[in-house]
Amino acid sequence: MKKSVKKTSLAALLLISAVLLLSRFGITPQNHRNQVYVSRVIDGDTIELSSGEKVRYIGIDTPETREKKGLEWVYAPRPYAKEAKDLNVRLVQGRRVRLEFDAQRRDKYSRLLAYVYVGDKMVNVELLKAGYAMIYTYPPNVKHTEELLAAQKLARQEGKGLWRQAASGVISSYEARHNVGSIRIVEAEVYDTFISDKVLILNCGNNFKVAIFMNNLEYFPKEFSRSPDSYFKGKTIRVCGVIKKYKSAYEIIANDPSQLEVL
């Protein structure tokens, strides 16, 4: 009986010692199972785990560090790409993080899609707050859309990071092609619209487009989806956001009404 008590006491002592040791590193038995180790930061919105898995942050997009020239990818960082990566390094590299998944677990590149937490902080949100990322909501992964939008709104109001570029003036739809990767305000005339169950597209001159995903249309006036041609066709708009090249066109994805104005 005494031996049994001693064994129980020893086991309890070892358990307590293990809990205390884990606590020193901010790991508790409850959340340790959900945590993974970040071995490398690839860029502002992508990391690699010790398992070799790559994780793409849900709901945000940071400036690209590389661009494709011919068949090769070369290092050609867009404005604030380095700052975004550096902040990501400071937040997660060499640390344990917790991953929270949404409706889709992987993207077409087989990367894990996740909201990444260090302690109670969501890294996706921290990058937005610093102005080194823009919200990039893509259905059906929309669990934290409101929280991400609030973080972006704060960064824009304070003119942080990427949002400093937006204060440099309005450019034409033709000039959009020379500002890929930058946040700019583009003024353009809408000559046509297209709407599906996934996205509303405003086609403008000079091969420039504005895209609004359906999950975000609820934040915009109802006329946008009821009769987009009547609301936009022939009118001049101003849209603020990151200019991207998609296939042969140039576009800005609008996730919030504050990004789009009808003149």
First to last CA, the chain: 86
Active-site option among 56, 98, 156, 184 = 56
- Rounded to whole angstroms, the Cα distance separating 64 from 117 reads 22
251 counts as catalytic:
no
Active-site option among 96, 98, 111, 156 = 111
Q: Which amino acid is at 170?
A: V
40 counts as catalytic:
no
Three-state SS at 148:
helix
Residue 84 structure tokens: 């975004």
64 counts as catalytic:
yes
- Rounded to whole angstroms, the Cα distance separating 19 from 24 reads 9
Active-site option among 64, 83, 126, 251 = 64
What b/e readout covers 210-243, taking b as 16+ CB neighbours within 10 angstroms? bbbbebbbebbeeebeeebeebbeeeebebbbbb
User: Within its chain, how far is the Cα of 86 from the centroid?
Assistant: 16
Catalytic residue positions, numbered? 56, 64, 111
